[in-house]
Amino acid sequence: MKKITLLAAVFAAFAASAQTKLEGLSHPESVCSNGKFTFVSNLGEKVEPTKRDEDGFISKFDAKGAEVKKDFISGLNAPKGMAIVKDVLYVADLDQIRGFKIKDGKEVFNLDLADMGSTYLNDIVMIDEQTLIVSATDIHKLIKVNLKTKKGEELSIAKLPSMGCNGLTFDAEKKMLFVVGMGGKVTKGDDVEDILGEIGMINLAADPAKWAYKRIGKATGMFDGIAIYDEKTLIVSDWRGGEGKGCMWKIDRMSGKPTEAVKMGAYAGPADFYFNAKENSVMIPDLLGDSVYPVTVDFSIKK
């Protein structure tokens, strides 16, 4: 794989957060929080993101990182992205969207999306209190879920060129949906080619008949998580940090210019992280490990 070229020789400074590292997990894939509790989805004993083994679970921690219950929600298959709407935690699990009460973990919502053709529903983002958008990584599509009618439908957009459609984030003020791709393999004749993921956006403020995907810049990678850092900037986790380690990029949200990169230390699989804008920190799950790492982000310190 070609190295991603930095367009500016600038590096962000990361410092360890005072919050406790979350340990004892089992291939954590996503982190979500409502400010009072933090939830972590776990694939289970093995990294088998499409297997129906019922050993996946969601862990619950308090705001300081103390474990409330490791298997707060159990019996899942390979839970990935999560979103909190009111007092319900919604999670993507293979071909289902399931909802659980934050208070006691009781299941209150279940939507089977098997007819969409995906067994790799991945990230979830809330558009409003009635609407979620879910990425389907294996079929490179986005699915809109209506929580009131309990129905799902493919967004009326041509197949996303972002191979391995993965992380999502939404700017509610500007109605802009951002999406990153993990990449994947494409068969061309007798050859199998590795295609890297990209970063793009969809203007949901436009007429739905004119919704269109627009690539942002030329950066490529094995992108997983994405969040809005500020009005001009995105932060994106990338498994291609070099030497088997992941990294995090600071991305100009209009030009796509990757201006800063930070290697993520000893963990190789920085997945769907949670960004706390108030505290300027991220909780990064190491999917290939058993921990979630708290990191304070400060892009103002440069070399």
Contact predicate 235/298, CB 8 Å = no
CA-based radius of gyration for the chain: 18
pLDDT in tens, the chain (303 residues): 333 332 222 223 333 344 678 999 999 999 999 999 999 999 999 999 999 999 999 999 998 889 999 999 999 999 999 999 999 999 999 999 999 999 999 999 999 999 999 999 999 999 999 999 999 999 999 999 999 999 999 998 877 888 899 999 999 999 999 999 999 887 677 777 788 999 999 999 999 988 999 999 998 999 999 999 999 999 999 998 655 678 888 899 888 888 766 666 666 789 999 999 888 889 999 998 889 998 877 655 343
- For residue 188, give every residue at least 6 positions away whose Cβ sits within 8 Å of its Cβ, in sequence order, or none: none
Q: In this structure, which long-range contacts are made by residues 141-146, counting pairs with CB atoms below 8 Å and at least 24 apart in sequence? A: 141/116, 141/165, 142/168, 142/179, 142/202, 143/113, 143/116, 143/118, 145/97, 145/111, 145/113
pLDDT given for residue 278 in this prediction: 86
- Topology at the third CATH level for domain 13-298: Methylamine Dehydrogenase; Chain H (2.130.10)
d(CA 128, CA 231) in angstroms, rounded, equals 20
pLDDT given for residue 9 in this prediction: 25
pLDDT given for residue 119 in this prediction: 96
- Please classify residue 252 by burial: count the beta carbons closer than 10 Å to its beta carbon, then call 0-12 exposed, 13-18 middle and 19+ buried: middle
pLDDT given for residue 256 in this prediction: 86
